[in-house]
Amino acid sequence: MRSETGQDQFTLRRRPWSERSIDGGFRLLTILLASLVAVVLLGIFLTVFNGAQEAMASFGLSFLVTSGWNPVNNQYGAFTAIYGTLVSSLLALFIAVPLGVGTAIFITENLIPRTWREVIGVMVELLAAIPSVVLGLWAIFVMEPLLRPFLNFLHQSLGWFPLFSTVPKGPGMAPAILILVVMILPIITAISRDALNQVPQELRQGAYGVGSTRWIAIFNVILPAAISSIIGGVMLALGRAMGETMAVTMIIGNSMNFSWSLLAPGNTISAMLANQFGEADGIQVSALLYAALILMLMTFAVNILAQWIVRRFSLSYN
Amino acid sequence: MTSTLNQPSTSGTLPSCLSLENVTISYGSFEAVRDVYMDIPRNRVTAFIGPSGCGKSTVLRALNRMNDLIEGCSLRGRVVFDGQDIYAREVDPVEVRRRIGMVFQKPNPFPKSIYENIAFGARINGFKGDMDELVERSLRKAAIWDETKDKLKESGNALSGGQQQRLCIARAIAVEPEVILMDEPCSALDPISTLKIEEMMHELKKSFTIVIVTHNMQQAVRVSDYTSFFNAEAVEGGSGKVGYLVEFNDTERIFNAPVQQATQDYVTGRFG
Ligand SMILES: Nc1ncnc2c1ncn2[C@@H]1O[C@H](COP(=O)(O)OP(=O)(O)O)[C@@H](O)[C@H]1O
Ligand SMILES: [Mg+2]
């Protein structure tokens, strides 16, 4: 482009019309695509909100705290499903976070030989590739029968405690929670692994250089440096767990009868929607959409919280 | 191969603190440094100089088992500290690193407060005394107390590069090691910060043995009592260059009357 005669030619070169219009067109296209996302989001929200209005008018906020779900006399309360959604996803997190973060630590800190670390890493990623309907089948035919003796034991020894107060008979909250653990483990592991990998090597050396043991270095220096991204990942996983439908609906029992017990069949909002929407009519549709709206608001809140946490607590190393 | 020289006439007269005996360090199957013998004297500053890639950092990290953190890195030979081979089976590398501290090329304060940066190492090593006093003493020794005394609660990352490096030196001091290893501690710093650190080293050697890697020969002359010159040479059939110790002597002699021609060439800048 630059010729022998000097720079003028270079600096004063006019961009041809075609090049400028391509630039402009591209800009327009990206704006269009970006706003499409917003439009779709808004559209979904408005549709759900509109559909839910009838139920909101007739049940009000008591919909959130009553548990009857009776299509015969059209009385609806979503408490069973809300309780199920919150309890199943929070307990799943409670189990999956130590497992996932622990796995990430094993993969990133050289505690075990590299080949083992890579094998474990690949296996966790493959876990994410299993379709949820397959996990659901596995839960029904393999996991739940294997789990039942243990759940029986829990009931027999801790039956006085509300969470274990019913006899486990098959599908229920407990196996649903475990299947959720399997489903969110890859996200938590992958995000924690990336977060730990981003902790500068110098920081690790600094920790070991003042005489830290492995555990002290990991728990006092490396994890705190990565914690904001890890929490962000955990919140994403929480959103995923609350919205997860297929595997859960296959194993949770889909019961709208409220029980505190984890050993009893239960329901989540997404499982309930998947099960009932097809046959619902009249105000039941509206009640389901009301529940869907609640679920959307819950996952929105979780996602916003995740972003806020990442921004608020992220550390800079410069 | 050039014979490695260990001048008994110089280091032999001083009590030696760390001795390398026929040390060879490899990364996987690649030998990075070969057959190093050296007696590092106590309460002196010893500088490692030499062209880059000749294994200075590798040898330095071997002195407090920092190489253990690098997968595939292995060491043959003995590194004797206080009469004990630090690579012996029963030796805990954590204890080695507590007694032989390290300051790195890039300042790496913990993402914690200035106070915590200093207190952390002491606390994990079971320090029971007055922490405030220890923090102040360490920061003073590292010549950074005046700049930080009003903001001990602020993050160590908020300091300038030179201040961060002095904070890292204070952090190393706070653990009360016997030896402090420094790997090009000033290479990322401005001349004034560099000067401050060099001045501080003259103070520090009263209480610590210091080993410093530097690519700056003037710096070696200014701060060190002893200098070892490393070089690297290609080996037949090898993939890369293997480093070795060419000469170890008084800094004075290394720069004015080196025994080896290679040293002479290097210190006079005639190095190819
Ligand atoms: N972590 C590592 N893994 C593999 N090879 C390394 C590593 N660190 C250094 N080396 C190799 O060892 C040799 C010496 O490196 P180094 O000790 O960093 O030299 P210097 O500090 O003198 O510049 C070089 O050839 C370098 O490529
Ligand atoms: Mg180096």
Q: Give me the domain span that covers residue B102.
A: 8-108+175-241
Mutate to test the pocket of ligand 1, among B57, B106, B231, B235 (most ligand atoms within 8 A of CB): B57
User: Cα torsion for B125, B126, B132, B137, to the nearest 10°?
Assistant: -50
Confidence of residue B13 (pLDDT cuts 50, 70, 90): low
Q: Which of A184, A179, A176, A182 is nearest to A264 (CA)?
A: A176
Confidence of residue B238 (pLDDT cuts 50, 70, 90): low
Per-residue pLDDT at A232 exceeds 60: yes
A294 within domain boundaries? yes
What span, in angstroms and rounded, lies between the C-alpha atoms of A248 and A180? 7
Q: Which of residues 153-212 of A touch B (CB under 8 A)?
A: 200, 202-212
> CATH number for the domain including B27?
3.40.50.300
- Residue A100, amino acid: G
- Residue B91, amino acid: V
What tens digit of pLDDT does each residue of B62-83 get? 999 999 988 889 999 999 998 8
β-strands B16-27, B226-234 pairing: unpaired
State the pLDDT at residue A190. 93
What tens digit of pLDDT does each residue of B223-232 get? 999 999 999 9
Report CB contact under 8 Å: A202, B104. Answer: yes
Per-residue pLDDT at B15 exceeds 90: no
- CA-based nearest distance B9→chain A, Å: 33
Partners of A220 on chain B (C-beta within 8 Å) are: 120, 124
What span, in angstroms and rounded, lies between the C-alpha atoms of B24 and B18? 16
Tell me the backbone φ, ψ of residue B143, rounded to 5 degrees.
55, 40
State the pLDDT at residue A149. 93
For residue B184, give the ligand 1 atom closest to its CA: 21
A265 within domain boundaries? yes
Per-residue pLDDT at A318 exceeds 60: no
Confidence of residue B7 (pLDDT cuts 50, 70, 90): very low
What span, in angstroms and rounded, lies between the C-alpha atoms of B119 and B139? 11
CA end-to-end span of chain A, whole Å? Answer: 39
User: Cα torsion for B144, B148, B153, B158, to the nearest 10°?
Assistant: -90
* Residue A52, token pair as written in the block: 């839910």
State the pLDDT at residue A17. 84
Mutate to test the pocket of ligand 1, among B27, B60, B106 (most ligand atoms within 8 A of CB): B27
What tens digit of pLDDT does each residue of B27-60 get? 998 999 999 999 999 999 999 999 999 999 999 9
* Mean confidence (pLDDT) of chain B: 89
Question: Residue B54's CB: how many other CB atoms inside 10 A?
Answer: 24
Report CB contact under 8 Å: A211, B124. Answer: yes
Q: Is B238 helix (H, G, I), strand (E, B) or coil?
A: coil
State the pLDDT at residue B11. 46
The strand ranges marked E within chain A are 69-70, 75-76
DSSP-derived letter for residue A274 is H
What tens digit of pLDDT does each residue of A167-196 get? 888 899 999 999 999 999 999 999 999 999
* Residue A294, token pair as written in the block: 């609640």
Contact, B191 vs B185, CB < 8 A? no
Which is more confidently placed, A314 or A93? A93
State the pLDDT at residue B8. 40
State the pLDDT at residue A314. 65
Q: Give me the domain span that covers residue A226.
A: 60-313
Report CB contact under 8 Å: B94, A211. Answer: yes
What span, in angstroms and rounded, lies between the C-alpha atoms of A14 and B82? 74
Per-residue pLDDT at A7 exceeds 80: no
What is the pTM for the complete model shown?
0.82
Confidence of residue B237 (pLDDT cuts 50, 70, 90): low
> CATH number for the domain including A244?
1.10.3720.10
Report CB contact under 8 Å: A210, B109. Answer: no
The whole-number average pLDDT for the span B211-233 is: 93
Partners of B116 on chain A (C-beta within 8 Å) are: none
Contact, B41 vs B250, CB < 8 A? no
What tens digit of pLDDT does each residue of A65-117 get? 998 888 888 889 999 999 999 999 999 999 999 999 999 999 998 788 888 88
Please give the full DSSP string across B23-66, using - where no structure is assigned. Answer: EEEEETTEEEEEEEEEEEETTSEEEEE-STTSSHHHHHHHTTTG
* Cα(B74) to centroid(ligand 1), Å: 13
Contact, B45 vs B212, CB < 8 A? yes
Confidence of residue A315 (pLDDT cuts 50, 70, 90): low
Give the number of domains in chain B.
1
What tens digit of pLDDT does each residue of A19-33 get? 888 988 999 999 999
CB-based burial label for B229 (10 Å; 0-12, 13-18, 19+): buried
User: Cα torsion for B130, B135, B137, B139, to the nearest 10°?
Assistant: 180
What tens digit of pLDDT does each residue of B149-203 get? 999 999 998 899 899 999 999 999 999 999 999 999 998 888 988 998 999 999 9
What tens digit of pLDDT does each residue of B84-141 get? 999 999 999 999 999 999 999 999 999 889 999 999 999 998 888 999 999 999 999 9
Report CB contact under 8 Å: A317, B102. Answer: no
Contacts of B133 (CB under 8 A, 6+ apart): none
State the pLDDT at residue B71. 86
Confidence of residue A5 (pLDDT cuts 50, 70, 90): low
Question: Residue A245's CB: how many other CB atoms inside 10 A?
Answer: 17
A205 within domain boundaries? yes
* Residue A171, token pair as written in the block: 């599908």
Which residue shows structure tokens 């309780």? A83
B66 within domain boundaries? yes
A54 within domain boundaries? no
B50 within domain boundaries? yes
Give the number of domains in chain A.
1
State the pLDDT at residue B5. 46
* Mean confidence (pLDDT) of chain A: 89
Per-residue pLDDT at A228 exceeds 90: no
* Cα(B58) to centroid(ligand 1), Å: 6
A32 within domain boundaries? no
Contact, A173 vs A265, CB < 8 A? yes
Cα three-residue angle B87-B54-B212, rounded to 5 degrees:
65
What tens digit of pLDDT does each residue of A120-168 get? 889 988 988 999 999 999 999 999 999 999 999 999 999 899 899 998 8
Q: What percent of chain A has pLDDT over 90?
A: 64
